[in-house]
């Protein structure tokens, strides 16, 4: 059996960096998918400084561009013959209104639609890898919005907080729906979703929470724990939501947590899936 492979998006900073470091130390070959190659190479160097045996490939990926996602996935499919772990980690939060080159609201495009397409493109590689896993990143903020089916790209009334909430609710519903579809397909791949609580990272840099996050949150190394638990714990069957066990799920050790009612609406999850296939042009082949 060859070396296990983990692919992490947004791997150069914050939680993604800690996840990459941990998995490299655990013996995975790590593909660090970064939108800025220089930042990615710097992060790789930092990991190698403390773990000489680390095997790391840095590849360029801009999740806000469907073209970039497609080119990236083509490279991965060409150069790798297994994929044990896909961690859909990258994200932006509460950014000013921006419409991407594909016509999508930027937080939805980066946090959700980019990962939806990426996972679809890499599904075959995941399926042929025994016991592979897809880990999606949600947030306590999944409660901040419903899915706005009538105007998912916020053509009207952009609200940066609501748009972040919608994108993170979409990641959660996607993870649950992916698990349902994988179960039916009979493959051993599972889908798990996690949130880090509040973790002091660059994510907050342009938000009103930037002063608060170091006080109430936990360092990135601890914030990464629920995500790593979702990625590595042997006791998970798929479909679990993992978060910190402390007050309000802000910090603490990983445990299975609950999500809100709208996230468990299977009809809406199916509707969101179909809309996502239509918007991205990526049709999943189970």
Ligand X SMILES: NC(=O)c1ccc[n+]([C@@H]2O[C@H](COP(=O)([O-])OP(=O)(O)OC[C@H]3O[C@@H](n4cnc5c(N)ncnc54)[C@H](OP(=O)(O)O)[C@@H]3O)[C@@H](O)[C@H]2O)c1
Of the pair 119, 201, the CB lying nearest ligand X is at: 201
Smallest gap from residue 65 Cβ to ligand X (A): 7
Smallest gap from residue 195 Cβ to ligand X (A): 5
| Torsional class of 22: left (φ above 0), alpha (ψ -120 to 50), beta (otherwise) | alpha
Smallest gap from residue 130 Cβ to ligand X (A): 27
Q: What is the token pair recorded at 210?
A: 């930037």
184 phi and psi angles, rounded to 5 deg: -65, -35
The residue ranges that bind ligand X (CB under 6 A) are 9-10, 12-16, 35-36, 39, 61-64, 89-93, 110-111, 137, 139, 195-196, 198-199, 201-203, 217, 223
Q: What is the token pair recorded at 66?
A: 């469907």
Q: What is the token pair recorded at 112?
A: 């959700």
> 44, 21 in Cβ contact below 8 A?
no
Q: What is the side-by-side strand order in the sheet with 133-137?
A: 55-60, 29-34, 5-9, 85-88, 133-137, 190-194, 241-244, 254-256
Of the pair 33, 129, the CB lying nearest ligand X is at: 33
Of the pair 127, 142, the CB lying nearest ligand X is at: 142
How many CB atoms neighbour CB 234 within 10 A?
5
> 208, 148 in Cβ contact below 8 A?
no
Smallest gap from residue 69 Cβ to ligand X (A): 9
164 has catalytic annotation: yes
Of the pair 41, 183, the CB lying nearest ligand X is at: 41
Smallest gap from residue 125 Cβ to ligand X (A): 19
Q: How many CA atoms lie within 13 A of 84 on its CB side?
A: 14
Catalytic one among 164, 176, 187, 229? 164
Of the pair 188, 253, the CB lying nearest ligand X is at: 253
Smallest gap from residue 267 Cβ to ligand X (A): 25
272 phi and psi angles, rounded to 5 deg: -65, -40
Of the pair 42, 271, the CB lying nearest ligand X is at: 42
Task: Locate all alpha helices (DSSP H) within the chain, ordered by sequence.
Answer: 14-25, 37-50, 66-79, 106-107, 114-127, 160-185, 213-216, 220-223, 225-232, 266-280
| Torsional class of 30: left (φ above 0), alpha (ψ -120 to 50), beta (otherwise) | beta
Strand partners, 256: 242
The residues annotated as belonging to the active site are 164
């Amino acid at each position: 059996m060859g070396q296990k492979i983990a692919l992490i998006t947004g791997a150069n900073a914050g939680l993604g960096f800690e996840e990459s470091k941990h998995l490299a130390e655990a013996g995975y070959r790590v593909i660090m998918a970064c939108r800025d190659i220089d930042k990615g190479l710097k992060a790789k160097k930092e990991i190698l400084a403390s773990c000489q045996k680390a095997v790391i490939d840095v590849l360029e990926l801009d999740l806000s561009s469907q073209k970039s996602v497609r080119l990236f996935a083509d490279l991965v499919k060409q150069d790798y013959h297994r994929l044990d772990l896909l961690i859909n980690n990258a994200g932006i939060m509460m950014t000013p209104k921006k419409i991407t080159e594909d016509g999508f609201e930027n937080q939805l495009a980066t946090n959700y639609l980019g990962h939806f397409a990426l996972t679809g493109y890499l599904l075959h590689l995941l399926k042929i890898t025994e016991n592979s896993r897809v880990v999606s990143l949600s947030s306590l903020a999944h409660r901040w919005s419903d899915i706005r089916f009538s105007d998912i790209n916020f053509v009207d009334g952009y609200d940066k907080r609501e748009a972040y909430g919608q994108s993170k609710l979409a990641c959660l519903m996607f993870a649950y729906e992916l698990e349902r579809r994988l179960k039916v397909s009979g493959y051993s791949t599972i889908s798990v979703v996690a949130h880090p609580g509040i973790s002091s990272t660059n994510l907050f840099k342009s938000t009103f929470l930037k002063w608060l996050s170091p006080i109430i949150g936990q360092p990135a190394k601890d914030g990464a724990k629920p995500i790593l638990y979702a990625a590595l714990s042997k006791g998970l069957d798929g479909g679990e939501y993992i978060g910190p066990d402390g007050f309000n799920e802000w910090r603490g050790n990983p445990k299975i947590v609950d999500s809100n009612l709208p996230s468990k609406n299977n009809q809406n999850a199916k509707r969101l899936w179909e809309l996502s296939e239509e918007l991205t042009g990526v049709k999943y082949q189970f």
